[in-house]
Amino acid sequence: MYRFFAAAGFLLAFAGAAHWVVPAGRHAFALVSAQDDAARLADLQLDGVLTPERTAVEIDAALEENDGELAASFIELADARGVPVTAERRARVALANAPGASFARGAGSFGHGFLTGQGEDLAGLAGATAGDLTVWGDVRDLGRQAANWARGEPVDHFMVNLAGIGIVATGATYAAFGAPLTFRAGISVLKGARRAGVVGGRFAGNITAALRGGSKAQLAALVGDLGTAGSKAGTRATFAGLRHVDDAAGAARLSALAQAKGGKTLAIFKTLGRGALFVTEAMAKLAFWVMAGVLNLFGLIASFNAMVVAMLRPMWKIRRRRPLLLPG
């Protein structure tokens, strides 16, 4: 009987392991299935990650750094996912984003964005875009690169190209009475991201290649996606996403996520990082859980078969011991 009990023990062990293997495999498969839906992918990635404890820590950290925008983004994300937030934290976030404080911060961000072209929130993006719409921003950037060239310092040709496109886009914006404003905003986002150091070399190379290859439609779509992301989710969230974007497809994912999540996008990137847009890690998880599932299924079948054999073996022995009855 020891074989029977050993097989039954293995069967129970594999059946118990299925309690973890099956849900984990199903979750990994759902991640891979949602790889083309940025909003759905982010929701799946947040499951089990955005806990009340994690939310409280992130909000407190943002408030300690006087970052009302990030704290408000976490409040919005928590409300959308049904994660409880204490009334005391809500009050502190509301105070940090009170109209007086927001106006003062917004005015400063607008002026900073107008003069330097750098903006990390909607007010800063508005200032940078306003500067670019007056051609001041593009002329300023060209002047900086010209000064670098005159001093023998490295010239950022990517920024020169963007400034040149921006001047043309500004003229088109006035000619079309503001129709291509999203494209103009996208140029401002790209320039600000370049200054902030969040545009990777591969992404910049792809844009430069599109410029040289004459792929105007692709370039327009890419820049338009960034302009849309900036207007829907804010410049900071767009910058956070651009750290993980390498091509036009990534920019489209970023735009789709920003349109679906709006003000929650900044908190999503703070929580998930690259996982908000891509499923590279999920592919490895899926491969692991598929192998684990196959082994678990094989173990269940083998254990069940061994248990049945051990249970029927005594019957075979009894039949073999019966004497044969000869006729006559």
Together in a domain, 234 and 291 = no
Residue at 328 is within a domain: no
Q: Which domain holds residue 29?
A: 2-35+283-321
- The rounded distance, in Å, linking the Cα atoms of 320 and 312 is 13
Structural domain contains residue 140: yes
Please give the residue that has the higher pLDDT: either 93 or 203. 93
Q: What is the pLDDT of residues 48-89, one digit of tens each?
A: 789 999 999 999 999 998 888 899 999 999 999 999 999 999
Is residue 123 in a domain?
A: yes
Write down the pLDDT at residue 188.
Answer: 78
Which of 197-206, 218-227, 264-273 ranks highest by mean pLDDT? 264-273
What does pLDDT average to over the chain? 76
Is 294 in the same domain as 172?
no
Within 8 A by CB and 6+ apart from 239, the residues are: 120, 192, 193, 196, 198
Note the pTM of the prediction, 2 decimals: 0.68
pLDDT at residue number 96: 84
What does the pLDDT look like over 182-192, one tens digit per residue? 777 788 788 77
The predicted pLDDT at position 175 comes to 54
Q: Are residues 117 and 8 part of one domain?
A: no
Same domain (yes/no): 233, 156: yes
Q: What is the pLDDT of residue 22?
A: 60
Residue 272 domain flag: yes
- pLDDT score of 13: 66
pLDDT tens-place string over residues 148-176: 888 888 887 777 877 777 777 666 655 55
| Same domain flag for 302 and 202 | no
Q: How many CB atoms sit inside 10 A of residue 310's CB?
A: 17
pLDDT at 151: 87
Question: What tens digit of pLDDT does each residue of 95-132 get?
Answer: 888 876 555 566 667 676 766 666 655 566 666 666 66
Residue 294, domain member (yes or no)? yes
Q: Are residues 294 and 226 in the same domain?
A: no
Sorting pLDDT into bands at 50, 70 and 90, what band is 260?
very high
Co-location of 121 and 28 in the same domain: no
Residues 59 and 187 both lie in one domain: yes
Same-domain status, 176 and 291 = no
Q: Examine residue 327 and state whether it is found in any structural domain, yes or no.
A: no
Residue 261 has pLDDT above 90, yes or no: yes
Select, from the ranges 176-190, 236-250, 310-324, the one with the highest average predicted confidence (pLDDT): 236-250
The confidence band for 203, taking pLDDT boundaries of 50, 70 and 90, is: confident
Give the per-residue pLDDT at 129: 62
The answer, yes or no, to whether residue 177 has pLDDT greater than 90, is: no
- Residue 189 maps to a domain: yes
Q: How far is CA 163 from CA 194, 244, 285, in A?
A: 12, 23, 43
Does residue 281 register a pLDDT over 90? Answer: no
Pair 314, 193 in one domain: no
Q: How far apart are CA 241 and CA 233, in angstroms?
A: 10
Residues 317/25, Cβ–Cβ less than 8 Å: no
Report the domain count for the chain: 2
pLDDT digits (tens, 9 = 90+) for 2-29: 565 565 665 566 565 555 556 666 666 7
In a domain, 114, yes or no: yes
182 and 243, same domain (yes or no): yes
- Could you tell me if 30 and 45 lie in one domain? no
pLDDT > 90 in the chain, percent: 19
**Which is higher by pLDDT, 305 or 283?**
305
